[in-house]
């Protein structure tokens, strides 16, 4: 394959589906605190997408999970910006993969650099960012998307293993501590027993319980659940202390009052790492908390700084994960669920089985091809793998245990909801209902329209949507804007007061920006990031509707498949009618005119194909303003400097990115230089 060779259609479709699934799973996990995909399944799908994008760089899009740290934080608590970003860890699943990782960082370091590692058990909890000023705890926040999280300081203060004041003399002017909050297994069992006694749903696992507890509005509830905390990362002012190794860093944390994991080891070779990993694979089950692997970090902090970060991971650390647990159970039935795009997803109903403390009774079978690959029969005994303990994966079928009367499962030829014909387009793995009026599709469209990243209509949950469709009060998303308080008040568990709030929330959603309306339309392949890019290039629905596919594809980050999907959507009569109805309802279908200094048109785009990194404080632009200035002119802004960076924009008090730019001989720009460059190349 040559770099210019286009990916096959099935590969493009697969990458698109992977992006969608990973984005939805990440949103459910980080924002809703309701995981919908197991960790190992997510990890493996993520690695598959990475592989496809490496093979076909044309598949890389700005909204790909591989191009960003994570998803948006929840909003029940005040959102705060992290002074220092929280990164995820790259995963390795075997010692061979760990060795490959070692080879990668050694090549980047410029040769066979001596390797000394610090190994710690990977705690299965919830990441926290703590801020101390003059030795006093001033803020505790959740990880969120890595750059912003939720301020949950009152809840943090209830965790007794987090010091309210740093121990010892001469505390630094500030300190940023990173660590993992967790619920011990004994406490987890007691919490679930109490929840079941009160008629509440038990938590799926200790990690989920920790995340849910930290987001409780009442600190007394948090205190009663006895969370624990292990610290593992530290940032200090450069003038305060010269900590040279990761091991010294952990000792500093202990000295100043933090609990660090006692099960850690300094390893001077891959074989020593392997010994630590193997020893704890079985012993971890005797621990009073959950752990799913070993975190391995380079001990030399100067080497860590040299290696830096990718867009998502530190290059100097890796999570060496333990294999997923597997158990057998029996398939008692299979049903097909219909999503908002009409996609039919076969779901196996399982004989309930305990899997690492979780009761598993369902497993997605993904699509028709997967069912055939498994040769799945109703009544089969299957092996289910533990991943996120929420939606397990069927690993394989055990045909030797198949009952004689067992019948192979066939995806229905008609929609199980509306009875209409279903179709599997050529080159796609998904079978879809083609009836645009299908209640399942309508319900999915309404839920998507009301979701937080779209129109954010508070109070419009799944049960309410189901009633609206069942009562035939809405036949499209536009019908929401013509609902009356009396109609809504007549629904179950609604009254005049709550109905009034909902109708007002729907009315308020008319003011949401055009980019969110575009995302809410649910056009295939258009995620929230793509919607923002498109809204910048086409500031009104009318402009986008009239655009040619080639014009849409010219937008940086929009590929041919996405462009064609948008083009076709706006040429469908039913969708044209929908836009007219939304316009009549007063929904925002155009952006506000750009400020005087911003270009009224995004053609030409002088920074097309160029990558920028921002560091320091600029004279007149905020970080977001500068990023918007670059992106509106076709450029891309990344968080770390690499040899692929074209320019580094430097402001006052720049960080280590400036030194790295100098080492790579990357051109540096002041704010005035950036503006001149935009003018000169226009």
Q: How many whole angstroms separate alpha carbon 560 and alpha carbon 61?
A: 11
Q: Which residues pair with 296 in a beta bridge?
A: 119, 318
231: Cβ–Cβ under 8 A, 6 or more apart, which residues? 177, 178, 179, 253, 258, 259, 260
First to last CA, the chain: 35
Q: Burial code of 363-394, b = ≥16 C-beta within 10 A, e = fewer?
A: bbbbbbeebeebebbbbbbbebbbbbbbbbbb
Q: Give the residue carrying structure tokens 């939606």.
A: 391
Six-digit token string for 99: 């060795």
Six-digit token string for 203: 């938590």
Q: How many whole angstroms separate alpha carbon 449 and alpha carbon 457?
A: 8
| DSSP secondary structure letter of residue 472 | T
Which secondary-structure segment (H or E) carries 235? Answer: strand 228-235
**For the range 553-560, what are the long-range contacts, defined as Cβ-Cβ under 8 Å and sequence gap of 24 or more?**
556/62, 556/605, 556/608, 556/609, 556/631, 556/634, 556/636, 557/61, 557/62, 557/63, 557/529, 557/530, 557/533, 558/61, 558/530, 558/533, 558/534, 559/12, 559/58, 559/59, 559/61
Computed from CA positions of residues 134, 136, 138, 142, in that sequence, does the dihedral angle turn out positive or negative?
positive
122 assigned to active site: yes
Catalytic residue (one of 122, 443, 636, 660): 122
98: Cβ–Cβ under 8 A, 6 or more apart, which residues? 92, 270, 273, 274, 296, 318, 320
533: Cβ–Cβ under 8 A, 6 or more apart, which residues? 62, 555, 556, 557, 558, 631
| DSSP secondary structure letter of residue 86 | P
Q: In what order do the strands lie in the sheet with 90-92?
A: 90-92, 317-321, 291-298, 117-123, 264-267
Planar angle of CA 522, 527, 531, nearest 5 degrees: 90
Q: How many whole angstroms separate alpha carbon 395 and alpha carbon 327?
A: 10
Residue 330, Cβ density class (10 Å: 0-12 exposed, 13-18 middle, ≥19 buried): middle
184 in Cβ contact with 228 (< 8 Å): yes
Q: How many whole angstroms separate alpha carbon 549 and alpha carbon 554?
A: 9
Q: Give the residue carrying structure tokens 């990761």.
A: 246
387 in Cβ contact with 412 (< 8 Å): no
306: Cβ–Cβ under 8 A, 6 or more apart, which residues? 109
What number of other Cβ atoms are within 10 A of residue 241's Cβ?
Answer: 15
Six-digit token string for 112: 């066979």
Which secondary-structure segment (H or E) carries 374? Answer: helix 368-374
Q: How many whole angstroms separate alpha carbon 306 and alpha carbon 215?
A: 36
What number of other Cβ atoms are within 10 A of residue 637's Cβ?
Answer: 17
- Active-site annotation, residues: 122
């Amino acid at each position: 394959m040559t770099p210019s060779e286009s990916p096959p259609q099935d590969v493009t479709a697969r990458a698109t589906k992977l992006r969608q699934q990973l984005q939805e799973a990440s949103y459910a996990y980080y924002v809703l605190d309701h995981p919908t995909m197991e960790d190992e399944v997510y990890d493996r799908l993520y690695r598959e997408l990475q592989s496809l994008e490496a093979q076909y760089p044309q598949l890389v899009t700005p909204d790909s999970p591989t191009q960003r740290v994570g998803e948006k934080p929840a909003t029940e608590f005040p959102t705060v910006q992290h002074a220092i970003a929280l990164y995820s860890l790259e995963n390795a699943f075997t010692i061979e993969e760990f060795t490959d990782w070692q080879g990668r960082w050694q090549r980047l370091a410029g040769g066979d650099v001596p390797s000394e590692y610090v190994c710690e058990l990977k705690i299965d909890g919830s990441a926290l960012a703590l801020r101390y000023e003059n030795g006093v705890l001033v803020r505790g926040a959740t990880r969120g998307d890595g750059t912003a999280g939720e301020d949950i300081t009152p809840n943090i203060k209830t965790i007794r293993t987090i010091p309210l004041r740093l121990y010892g003399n001469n505390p630094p002017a500030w300190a940023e501590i990173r660590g993992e909050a967790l619920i011990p297994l004994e406490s987890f069992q007691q919490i679930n027993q109490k929840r079941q006694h009160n008629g509440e749903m038990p938590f799926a696992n200790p990690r989920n319980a920790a995340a849910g507890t930290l987001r409780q509005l009442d600190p007394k509830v948090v205190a009663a659940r006895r969370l624990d905390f292990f610290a593992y990362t530290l940032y200090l002012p450069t003038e305060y202390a010269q900590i040279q190794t990761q091991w010294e860093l952990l000792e500093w944390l202990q000295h100043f009052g933090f609990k660090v994991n006692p099960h850690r080891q300094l390893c001077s070779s891959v074989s020593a790492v392997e010994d630590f990993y193997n020893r704890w694979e079985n012993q971890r089950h005797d621990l009073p908390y959950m752990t799913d692997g070993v975190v391995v970090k380079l001990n030399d902090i100067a080497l860590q700084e040299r290696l830096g970060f990718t867009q998502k991971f530190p290059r100097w650390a890796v999570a060496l994960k333990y294999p997923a647990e597997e158990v057998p159970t029996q398939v008692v039935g299979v049903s097909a669920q219909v999503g908002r795009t009409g996609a039919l997803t076969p779901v196996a109903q399982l004989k309930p089985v305990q899997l690492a403390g979780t009761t598993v009774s369902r497993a997605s079978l993904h699509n028709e091809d997967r069912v055939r690959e498994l040769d799945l029969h109703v009544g089969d005994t299957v092996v289910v793998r533990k991943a996120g303990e929420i939606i397990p994966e069927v690993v394989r079928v055990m045909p030797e245990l198949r009952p004689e009367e067992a019948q192979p499962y066939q995806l229905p030829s008609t929609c199980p909801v509306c009875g209409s014909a279903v179709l599997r387009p050529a080159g796609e793995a998904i079978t879809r209902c083609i009836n645009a009026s299908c209640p399942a599709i309508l319900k999915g469209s309404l839920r998507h329209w009301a979701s937080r990243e779209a129109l954010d209509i508070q109070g419009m949950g799944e049960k309410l949507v189901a009633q609206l469709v069942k009562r035939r009060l809405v036949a499209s998303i536009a019908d929401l804007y013509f609902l009356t308080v009396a109609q809504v008040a007549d629904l179950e568990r609604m009254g005049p007061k709550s109905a009034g709030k909902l109708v007002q929330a729907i009315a308020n959603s008319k003011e949401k920006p055009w980019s969110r309306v575009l995302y809410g339309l649910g056009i295939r392949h258009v995620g929230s990031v793509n919607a923002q890019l498109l809204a910048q290039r086409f500031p009104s629905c009318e402009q986008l509707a009239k655009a040619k596919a080639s014009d849409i594809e010219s937008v940086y980050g929009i590929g041919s498949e996405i462009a064609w999907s948008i083009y076709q959507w706006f040429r469908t009569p039913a969708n044209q009618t929908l836009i007219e109805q939304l316009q009549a309802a007063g929904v925002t279908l155009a952006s506000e005119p750009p400020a005087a200094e911003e270009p009224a048109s995004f053609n030409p785009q002088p920074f097309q194909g160029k990558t920028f990194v921002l560091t320091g404080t600029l004279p007149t632009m905020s970080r977001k303003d500068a990023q918007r200035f670059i992106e509106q002119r076709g450029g891309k802004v990344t968080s770390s400097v690499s040899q692929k960076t074209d320019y580094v924009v430097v402001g006052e008090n720049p960080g280590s990115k400036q030194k790295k730019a100098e080492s790579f001989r990357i051109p540096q720009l002041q704010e005035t230089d950036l503006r001149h460059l935009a003018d000169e190349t226009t």
